[in-house]
Structure 1
Amino acid sequence: MNVLIRSAQYIDIQYLEVIASETVKVMKEEGNDQWNDQYPLAEDFQRDVQNESIFVYILDGEVAGSITIDQQFSNAYSKFDWHQPVEQAMIFHRLVVNPTIRKKGIASKLITFAESYAIENGMTSMKVDTYSLNRKAQELFTKHHYTFVGERTFPERKNPFYFYEKPLNP
């Protein structure tokens, strides 16, 4: 089994679109509407590639998943009393793994990669949010020792989003 995590390239977007589309189907089956046919789109992945903030997990030569790591915090992040300052943190988002090969630890490896990347860039913590209906993401974050910080409801959503953070030790 040949594994590699590398910066995403524009050619990877076509694969990420398919993986995201299949993930939306699985989310719907699980009663989770965090993602839909309006998000994430190719434009989101293109922007991430342009910003050099998206990394892909390559398994046996094929894109198996991705994670975006940056400091593009929404205004919602300013509403919490974080234990670690936002200025010294990175966030990961659009964590996605091909649904046909889930349960192989790929999401965990991408999160571990994100944490190492943040440390290499001088950050002291990692932050993330997820929709309250996305129980699998919540379990994954807890497994990786992320602490629940708070929740926030947005006008366009019925249910709140949950916010998490984790201090990083170099």
Structure 2
Amino acid sequence: MSISLAVPNDIIEIMELVKSCIIDLEAHKIYQWNKNYPTVDHFEGDIENKSLYIFKDGGVNQGIITINETQPLEYKKLDWLIDDSRVMVIHRLAVKPIFQRQGTGQRLMNFAENFAFNNDYDSIRLDAYSGNPRAIKFYENRGYKKIGQVFFPGRTLPFYCYEKIVR
């Protein structure tokens, strides 16, 4: 079991994971991701920027998470818990459906939170699609505080924005 930076050779497995997640989300009438987001370009950029991490167990890709300092412009209009001094942002957390509810998402979030703490970030920010009740419950159970909501192009429902102080 390991979490490590994704490399270009991982991209095919990553896109297969994303495709399986989209199919699973749509089967549950959750239209969070689609052919326009996230794309291979997003993940190739994450790999190039060394911000995409992959969780493998027995050589099998079970989940991914992107962590960096990039905040969507939509975040600017929210009243966050702290200023922007040292903020880490979580993007594109995904767990292959056959591995969901087995602790993979928890492991990825533990990794991200430890990364933030060990690298002197003050807080972690993220957003969750309001039409995805499992994701919302997942973050709230981990102590993330709902700050507000934003809208992203191509989505009818808002995304709830969360923050957790790590210092």
In which range does the TM-score fall when normalised by the shorter chain? over 0.9
CA contact (8 A) 1:21 1:37 kept: no
- Structure-2 separation of matches of 1:125 and 1:155: 26
Aligned equivalents of 1:143, 1:11: Cα separation in 2: 34
- 1:16 alignment partner in structure 2: 14
User: Would you say how many aligned residue pairs link Structure 1 and Structure 2?
Assistant: 167
- TM-score with structure 1 length normalisation? 0.94
Does the residue aligned with 1:84 lie in a helix, a strand or coil? coil
Residue in 2 that maps onto 1:27? 25
Which structure 1 segments of 5+ residues have no match?
none
Superposed, 1:46-125 pairs within 5 Å as: 46-125=44-123
Deviations along 1:57-97, one digit per CA (max 9) or x if unpaired, are 01111111110000110111111111122231101111011
Alpha-carbon offset, residue 26 of structure 1 = 0.7
Rounded to whole Å, the distance in 1 between the matches of 2:153 and 2:131 is 16
Matched, 1:163 2:161: yes
Moved over 6 A (4+): none
Shift of 1:31: 1.3
Picking from 138, 145, 151, the partner of 2:136 is 138
TM-score calculated relative to the size of structure 2: 0.96
- Percent identity over the alignment is 31
| Structure 2: unaligned runs, 5 residues or longer | none
Cα deviation, residue 154, structure 1:
4.1
Query: What is the RMSD of the two structures over their aligned residues, measured on CA atoms?
Result: 1.1
Report deviation, 1:155. Answer: 5.3
In the aligned structure 2, how far is the partner of 1:37 from the partner of 1:157?
13
Closer, same or farther: CA 145–152 of 1 in aligned 2, 3 Å: same
Aligned 8 A contact 1:90 1:118 in 2: yes
Cα distance between partner residues in 2 of 1:37 and 1:61 = 27
Deviation at 1:152, TM superposition (A): 2.0
